[in-house]
């Protein structure tokens, strides 16, 4: 079925795609087709903040990817959640609003030879889409659609951890988003009145009312239609309802399928590593060896401490009465544990004096469990999850065949570098020092994971491999770069090198991962492309 011709075709209604659809349709003379493989975001657990527990590894809301066995994680394979449906990852993520650090963006500008990626220019773009609870100031704006709110709960155990961090010498901060996020405080979250805000509600709700936006869900993109002679991207082939469909573009295709999905679509379309594509029987249209390489992610080490004499969520949900009180509080006030982001208290610091700005981020939680999707522990405990913000390990993602429904081969390659192993060891030592402060003494914290008996560096590297897991921030597989960078896939304006009329606009375009959660930076990148096109 031919769906006609559009000025722009956006593939993927996630963090980038929804913002692009909103911005481009502001011009009534511009026609836009938005294709999304998943369903509408009418599943109740998307919108209740604690519902991420029911959305991750749920085929309705998650692609349910899994990594290959990872040597650095002692051959463990991990679930690798990626959002599926309107809102994409913003429908299942931790709702944390985090820009990262100013040097992240200045480094992008240096890598790409494009000053417009620097911190000053990026900050202006953040203000274009942000609606900050504190109003307009030097760092924030309240004029945009993306609501940034304070959290609606506090826990005594988190206050105690915060006090321990301050006692250790880490200052308290109220805003992590001013260019240097050093300090300890509560994360700002993307919620509105106690409900999750995803990019579908923030950006698509308005755009969907415009006659120049056509939106199709359940649309699995098979390949891009790229002329092998002219290298012009002319349209998109996709599958929906068991039938083949096609749509053409007058201007551009904007690929916003994410760090995993964009690679799959490019490779199925003949854009990628020539030898790999030939091996799979795919005609090579543009040989770009960087497609699928440069995979980066924040590996979190989930350190768990058992405590006594202070309440955590573990025991609060142990009885039906406790669960009932939690549900009633949310029903009446939109507060309490059901309004919780997965992590409430944040901390940014350095693992050693070798780092000029924070290279560690803590997500501290008043709960503990073996892994997401399983029940909480029966004893009171908190989790101090610490991640290396600037890993040097690099992985890859590639398709294994041309089947549009086939899972890709994901190799994150965590802890493969000596530098990352060293930071992991330093992270564990640092966490122990914070927990040893007098603020936590009354609650007799006992290290459950990785275990206080592990002290030597080689033991701690092994332990990091046992407790390390993704914090869901994969980026970099279609990185932007300068023209002379043979491994860059995109130019500084996110155009695919050697292919006309095609851009990749999502987290895969990041050359280096940002020093914090990656949802907001992905939207900022989409904002820049929207401004270029408008």
Report the C-alpha gap between 348 and 187 in whole angstroms.
11
Comparing CA positions, the residue from 530, 517, 527, 515 lying closest to residue 106 is 515
Q: Region 335-359: what's the mean pLDDT?
A: 91
Cα 532 to chain centroid distance, Å, stands at 24
Contact 265, 245 (CB under 8 A): no
Task: Indicate whether 151 pLDDT > 70.
Answer: yes
Q: Is the peptide bond before 48 cis (omega within 30 degrees of 0)?
A: no
CA distances from residue 477 to 199, 267, 372, 472, 474 in whole angstroms, order as listed: 22, 12, 26, 15, 9
Task: Indicate whether 195 pLDDT > 80.
Answer: yes
Hey, what are 485's tokens? 């960078």
Task: Indicate whether 326 pLDDT > 90.
Answer: no
SS3 362: strand
Comparing CA positions, the residue from 257, 138, 209 lying closest to residue 508 is 257
pTM, 2 dp: 0.96
pLDDT per position as a tens digit, 452-510: 999 999 999 999 999 999 999 999 999 999 989 999 999 999 999 999 999 999 999 99
pLDDT per position as a tens digit, 156-185: 999 999 999 999 999 999 999 999 999 999
Lookup result for tokens 């597989």: 477
Report the C-alpha gap between 184 and 179 in whole angstroms.
15
Task: Indicate whether 53 pLDDT > 90.
Answer: no
How high is the pLDDT of residue 221? 98
H-type alpha helices, 8-145: 15-24, 44-47, 52-55, 102-112, 119-129
| Residue 328 neighbours by CB under 8 Å, 6+ apart | none
Lookup result for tokens 């309107």: 86
How high is the pLDDT of residue 37? 97
Q: Delimit the domains of the chain by residue range.
A: 1-100+199-295+474-534, 152-186+299-388+413-472
Question: Angle, nearest 10°, between helix axes 418-435 and 457-467?
Answer: 90
pLDDT per position as a tens digit, 327-336: 788 787 788 7
According to DSSP, the β-strands at 195-196 and 191-192 are antiparallel
DSSP H or E stretch at residue 189: none
Beta bridge partners, 347, equal 184, 362
How high is the pLDDT of residue 530? 98
pLDDT per position as a tens digit, 1-21: 888 899 999 999 999 999 999
Task: Indicate whether 448 pLDDT > 70.
Answer: yes
Report the C-alpha gap between 515 and 489 in whole angstroms.
22
DSSP letter at 377 equals: P
How high is the pLDDT of residue 332? 76
Comparing CA positions, the residue from 103, 123, 127, 181 lying closest to residue 358 is 181
Report the C-alpha gap between 255 and 422 in whole angstroms.
37
Q: Region 365-376: what's the mean pLDDT?
A: 83
In the chain, what percentage of residues exceed pLDDT 70?
Answer: 100
pLDDT per position as a tens digit, 55-74: 999 999 999 999 999 999 99
245 is catalytic: no
Angle, CA 499 vertex, CA 494 and CA 503 arms, to 5°: 25
Radius of gyration of the chain (CA): 23
What are the percentages of helix, strand and coil residues in the chain, rounded to 5?
A: 30, 25, 45
How high is the pLDDT of residue 25? 98
SS3 347: strand
**What are the b/e assignments for 487-504, b being 16+ CB within 10 Å?**
ebbbbbebbbbebebbbb
Q: Tell which CATH classification among 3.20.20.20, 3.30.410.40, 3.30.465.10, 3.90.76.10 matches the domain 152-186+299-388+413-472.
A: 3.30.410.40
Q: Where are the beta strands (DSSP E) in 428-485?
A: 446-449, 468-470
Report the C-alpha gap between 393 and 398 in whole angstroms.
17
CA distances from residue 181 to 58, 98, 193, 211, 247 in whole angstroms, order as listed: 33, 9, 26, 42, 44
Report the C-alpha gap between 313 and 318 in whole angstroms.
9
Higher-scoring residue by pLDDT: 355, 317: 355
According to DSSP, the β-strands at 360-365 and 381-388 are antiparallel
pLDDT band at 29 (very low <50, low <70, confident <90, very high): very high
Task: Indicate whether 321 pLDDT > 80.
Answer: no
CA distances from residue 258 to 31, 264, 272, 321 in whole angstroms, order as listed: 23, 10, 16, 41
pLDDT per position as a tens digit, 85-96: 999 999 999 999
Pseudo-torsion of CA 235, 217, 399, 298, nearest 10°? 120
Higher-scoring residue by pLDDT: 328, 104: 104
Lookup result for tokens 């120049």: 212
How high is the pLDDT of residue 373? 66
CA distances from residue 45 to 95, 408, 450 in whole angstroms, order as listed: 14, 27, 32
Report the C-alpha gap between 161 and 168 in whole angstroms.
10
| CATH superfamily, with its number, for domain 1-100+199-295+474-534 | FAD/NAD(P)-binding domain (3.50.50.60)
Contact 530, 24 (CB under 8 A): yes
């Amino acid at each position: 079925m031919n769906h006609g011709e559009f000025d722009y075709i956006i593939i993927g209604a996630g963090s980038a795609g929804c913002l692009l659809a909103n911005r481009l349709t502001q011009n009534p003379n511009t026609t836009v087709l938005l294709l999304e493989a998943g369903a509408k975001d009418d599943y109740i657990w998307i919108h209740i903040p604690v519902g991420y527990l029911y959305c991750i590894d749920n085929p309705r809301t998650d692609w349910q990817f899994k990594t290959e066995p990872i040597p650095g994680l002692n051959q463990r394979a991990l679930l690798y959640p990626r959002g599926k449906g309107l809102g994409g990852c913003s429908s299942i993520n931790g709702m944390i609003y985090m820009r990262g650090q100013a040097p992240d963006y200045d480094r992008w500008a240096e890598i790409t030879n494009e000053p417009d990626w620097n911190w000053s220019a990026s900050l202006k773009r953040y203000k274009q889409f942000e609606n900050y609870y504190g109003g307009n100031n030097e760092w924030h704006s309240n004029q945009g659609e993306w609501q940034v709110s304070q959290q609606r709960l506090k826990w005594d155990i988190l206050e105690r951890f915060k006090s321990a961090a301050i006692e250790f010498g880490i200052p308290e901060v109220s805003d992590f988003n001013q260019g240097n996020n050093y300090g300890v405080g509560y994360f700002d979250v993307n919620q509105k009145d106690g409900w999750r805000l995803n990019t579908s509600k923030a950006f698509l709700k308005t755009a969907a009312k415009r006659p120049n936006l056509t939106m199709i869900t359940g649309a699995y993109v098979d390949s891009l239609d790229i002329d092998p002679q002219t290298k012009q991207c002319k349209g998109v082939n996709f599958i929906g309802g068991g039938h083949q469909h096609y749509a053409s573009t007058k201007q551009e295709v904007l690929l916003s399928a994410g760090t995993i999905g964009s690679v799959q679509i490019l490779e199925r379309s003949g854009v990628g590593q020539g030898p790999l594509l030939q091996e799979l029987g795919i005609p090579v249209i543009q040989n770009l060896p960087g497609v699928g390489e440069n995979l980066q992610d924040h590996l979190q080490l989930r350190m768990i401490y058992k405590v006594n004499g202070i309440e955590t969520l573990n025991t609060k949900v142990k009885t039906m009465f406790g669960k009932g009180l939690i549900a009633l509080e949310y029903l009446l006030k939109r507060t309490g544990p059901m309004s919780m982001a997965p992590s409430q208290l944040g901390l940014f610091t350095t693992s050693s004096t070798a780092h000029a700005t924070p290279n560690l981020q803590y997500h501290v939680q008043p709960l503990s469990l073996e892994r997401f999707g399983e029940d909480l522990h029966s004893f009171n405990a908190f989790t101090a999850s610490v991640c290396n913000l600037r890993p040097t390990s690099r992985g890859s993602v590639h398709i294994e065949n041309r089947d549009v429904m086939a899972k890709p081969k994901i190799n994150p390659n965590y802890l493969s570098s000596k530098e990352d192993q060293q930071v992991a060891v330093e992270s564990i030592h640092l966490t122990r020092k914070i927990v040893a402060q007098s603020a936590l003494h009354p609650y007799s914290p006992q290290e459950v994971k990785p275990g206080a008996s592990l002290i030597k560096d080689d033991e701690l590297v092994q332990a990091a491999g046992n407790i390390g897991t993704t914090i869901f921030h994969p980026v970099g597989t279609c990185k932007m770069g300068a023209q002379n960078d043979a491994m860059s896939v995109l130019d500084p304006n996110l155009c695919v090198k050697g292919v006309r009329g095609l851009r990749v606009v999502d987290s895969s375009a990041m050359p280096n991962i940002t020093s914090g959660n990656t949802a907001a930076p992905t939207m900022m990148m989409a904002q820049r492309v929207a401004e270029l096109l408008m």
